A and B are shown apart, each in its own frame.
Chain A
Amino acid sequence: MRDVIDEWATIAPGSRLDGLRALRPDVRAATQAYEDAIFNGESGLTSGERHAVAMHVAEMNGEAVMVAHHRARSGQSARLPALIAHAEMLTMRPDQATPEAIQALLAAGLSSRDVVMLSQLIAHVNYQTRLLAGLRLLEQTA
């Protein structure tokens, strides 16, 4: 089974990288299922908010293909700036995390479950961007 990473890294079926990734089929399946659970699951965060946050995380990681994917699906909301500020801290300065940052999200109307979804989403995009970067290097040095 192919996943969204294959699409973004333009890994052609039957190519060397496709063969390499095929050695780890459970990673491919879980990467896609994790993506689907985050972006298609029911949540207090709207789909537009989730994609807008993902777009910003992809942008900080310099992943243009991912930025375009999420931009096309992103939306606006009054609390979006607070979500993006949290995404920026987690992505760029995770060592600056504080309990107050979580309290601020709860005060902005997020439930504990929404905070978990937001954090999983930010963490997931940070996983994908490193995997993409590593795969491109493996391709370049073939």
Chain B
Amino acid sequence: MSTHDFGFPMESLNWKAWAPVLDVTNATPNEIKVLEESHPKAKENPYYMLLVQEAEVLRQRSKLFNTIMYGPRGASRAERELAATAESRLNGCPYCASVHALRYVQMKGDADLMQRLMADGVETPMPARARAIVDYAVRLAATPSTATADDIRRLREEGLEDAEILDITLSVALFANANRLMQTLGEAVRP
């Protein structure tokens, strides 16, 4: 049994919690506020209805998530999504991978590359700049990290500035977090 067994469809999925979630009709005003700060549709999403039971932790984690993934940054949103999706594919989080694969394409990422990454995995062929980002993401995602100075040098050779490399690092660090929440507190289900 592995969470990889579900496969990695590039479509919107649902998510089912493995632990009891908060009933929205019982939510306190503070919990409602945290949900609204976290995601526009958090109140309909069992993932957030589970996490909001620890409301202050979710509030701070959502601030971190939203600024790393959606804040104005050096690294393009598409490249942050590419790193996040590669790591989610590697770790075996189909829900995370599908959300961020679709967002990568929305952000004008290479749809063909993403389809192959989802179907075949992180080793699928890709242009040098994407390859450098994915290789760094895969090695930094390992426990413990196996990323090296050479990975950073390759990113620089591909034209990434240090602020952009920091943004990619943050995206990978964040998905070491996001995958572990989403793939261990519940599971992806097809709509």
A interface residue numbers (CB < 8 A to B): 20-21, 23-24, 26-27, 29-31, 33-34, 36-38, 41, 43, 60-63, 89-92, 94-99, 101-103, 106, 112-113, 115-117, 119-120, 122-124, 126-131, 133-135, 137-138, 140-141
Contacts and interface: CB of A to CB of B under 8 A. Distances in A.
Interface string B58-97: 1111011001100101100000000000000001110000
A11 to B, nearest CB: 12
Contact of B50 (A31, A112, A137): A112
B151 A137 contact: yes
A95 B54 contact: no
B163 A116 contact: no
A63 B97 CA distance: 27
Contacts of A141: 149, 152-153, 156
Contact of A106 (B1, B19, B92, B148): B19
A27 B152 contact: no
Contacts of B172: 130, 134
A27 B68 contact: yes
B19 A123 contact: no
Contacts of A137: 147-149, 151-152
B51 A116 contact: yes
B180 A119 contact: yes
Nearest to A26: B67
Given A26-B71, A30-B67, A98-B1, A127 B174 contact: yes
A138 B143 contact: no
Contacts, number: 177
Given A41-B57, A127-B174, A134-B140, A119 B149 contact: no
A94 B57 contact: no
B151 A95 contact: no
Contacts of A33: 60, 63
A96 B1 contact: yes
A46 B76 CA distance: 41
A130 B141 contact: yes
Given A106-B19, A134-B140, 9 more contacts: A20-B163, A30-B60, A37-B61, A41-B57, A60-B144, A61-B143, A94-B91, A94-B180, A102-B19
B102 interface: no
A94 to B, nearest CB: 5
B54 A113 contact: yes
B38 interface: no
A137 B149 CA distance: 6
Nearest to A115: B19
Contact of B140 (A37, A92, A97, A133): A133
Interface in B18-37: 18-21
Given A95-B91, A126-B177, A134 B57 contact: no
B75 to A, nearest CB: 11
A127 B177 contact: yes
Of listed B73, B93, B166, residue having the most chain A CB within 10 A: B166
Contacts of A115: 19, 185
